[in-house]
C-alpha cells in the first residue's frame, strides 16, 4: 500500500567526479552567470536553491521542501536579516566534506555580505562534483550506488 523508502546512503569517494578530493572551489564566488538558470532561480527564489543544496549536504535527511520552507520562514520573519546565520552552516559542512578552503573569507562573512552569490557558488560546486541538486538526494544516492555517471534527463519538446 505504501511505497518502499530508499535508505539514506552517503556518497562514496570516487563514485562522483571529485568526490572526496581536496581542491579549490570549482568556480569563483562572483561567477553567478556561469549557470544562468540557477542564477535566475536564486535571484527570484533563493529558498529553492538553498533547499536543493541543503538536501544534498544533509545526505537526504532533510528534504528540499523542508529546508526551503525553513529558509523562507526565517527570511520572512527576520526581514532577511538572519538567513545568513542559517545558510552559512551548510557552507561550512559542505566545505568540510569536500575539503574546500574557507575562501574568499569566513563562511559567515560570505553569506552575510553576498548570500545569493554564496548560494549560487555552492550549487555550482555540487554540480561540478557530479551531483544533480535539482533531482534531489535519492536520485543521486541511487546513481552513486549503481556507479553510473548519468546526466539529468533532457527536456523533451512536442514532436511527431
155, pLDDT greater than 50: yes
**d(C-alpha 160, C-alpha 157), whole Å:** 10
Give tens-digit pLDDT for 34-74.
Answer: 999 999 999 999 999 999 999 999 999 999 999 999 999 99
Give tens-digit pLDDT for 111-152.
Answer: 999 999 999 999 999 999 999 999 999 999 998 888 755 555
Q: Which candidate, 118, 121, 123, 120, places its Cα nearest to that of 133?
A: 123
Query: Whole-structure pTM over 0.85, yes or no?
Result: no
Secondary structure (3-state) at 16: strand
Amino acid at each position: 500500500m505504501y511505497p518502499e523508502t530508499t535508505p539514506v546512503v552517503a556518497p562514496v569517494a570516487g563514485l562522483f567526479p571529485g568526490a572526496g578530493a581536496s581542491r579549490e572551489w570549482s568556480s569563483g564566488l562572483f561567477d553567478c552567470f556561469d549557470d544562468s538558470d540557477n542564477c535566475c532561480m536564486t535571484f527570484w527564489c533563493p529558498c529553492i536553491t538553498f533547499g536543493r543544496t541543503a538536501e544534498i549536504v544533509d545526505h537526504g535527511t532533510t528534504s528540499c521542501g523542508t529546508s526551503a520552507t525553513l529558509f523562507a520562514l526565517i527570511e520572512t520573519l527576520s526581514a532577511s536579516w538572519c538567513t545568513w546565520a542559517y545558510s552559512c552552516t551548510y557552507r561550512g559542512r559542505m566545505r568540510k566534506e569536500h575539503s574546500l578552503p574557507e575562501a574568499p573569507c569566513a563562511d559567515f562573512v560570505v553569506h552575510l555580505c553576498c548570500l545569493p552569490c554564496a548560494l549560487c557558488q555552492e550549487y555550482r560546486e555540487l554540480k561540478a562534483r557530479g551531483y544533480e541538486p535539482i533531482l534531489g538526494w535519492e536520485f543521486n544516492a541511487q546513481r552513486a550506488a549503481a556507479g553510473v555517471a548519468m546526466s539529468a534527463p533532457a527536456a523533451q519538446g512536442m514532436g511527431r
